[in-house]
Amino acid sequence: DIDDSFKSMFAQLAGEDMEISVRELRTILNRVVSRHQDLLTDGFSMESCRTMKDGSARLGLVEFQLLWNKIRKWLVIFRQFDLDKSGAMSSYEMRMALEAAGFHLNNQLNQVLVARYAENETIDFDNFICCLVKLEAMFRFFQELNKDDTGVAEMNITEQDFVANFP
């Protein structure tokens, strides 16, 4: 069940329509991330918040809680693999973090994702979260395609197409 402090944070944020808009999501994420001095970030953009919201039609209490728990889980991984405590992921750290998050990607795909999400070779926290939100959406999409439930999505498309379809 959802604890009361979370409910009150949600209610305060969501307002009377009881759902979180992209702008409200951005406000809370940037407020919370600024409390964590060890995380490098240039702030969550509207674009990245829209991506996070895309997963669900509306961000009600349950959807918001799911997103929050995902970010919390990914934050733990981020800290675990930020080996030099730089507050950002190097491509080497990123590869390990994605692995730990359950995304077993080949070299090429790792490189494509780093190229897509890194700024001067490092991936800051908000970019890290966006990358994981994107990957999760991608894998959910391919699992849908791969109906025979082998658990392995046969993706015989080029990495470029892969990432192009998920800008």
Ligand X SMILES: O=C(O)[C@@H](S)Cc1ccc(I)cc1
Does position 71 interact with ligand X (CB under 6 A)? The reply is: yes
CA distance 74 to 117: 16
CA distance 137 to 53: 11
Does position 127 interact with Ca ion (CB under 5 A)? The reply is: yes
CA distance 10 to 147: 36
| Min dist. Cβ of residue 145 to ligand X (A) | 31
Token pair for 81? 């693999």
Does position 32 interact with ligand X (CB under 6 A)? The reply is: yes
Does position 13 interact with ligand X (CB under 6 A)? The reply is: no
Residues 6+ apart with CB under 8 A from 64: 10, 14, 20, 25
Identify any residues that bridge with 119 across adjacent strands, giving them in sequence order: 122
| Candidate residues 75, 96, 137, 163; the one interacting with ligand X per rule CB under 6 A | 75
Binding piece for ligand X, criterion CB under 6 A, among 18-26, 57-65, 71-79, 137-145: 71-79
20 is in the binding site of which of Ca ion, ligand X, none (Cβ under 5 to 8 A by kind)?
none
Residues of the shown chain interacting with ligand X in the complex, contacts defined by CB under 6 A: 29, 32-33, 36, 68, 71-72, 75
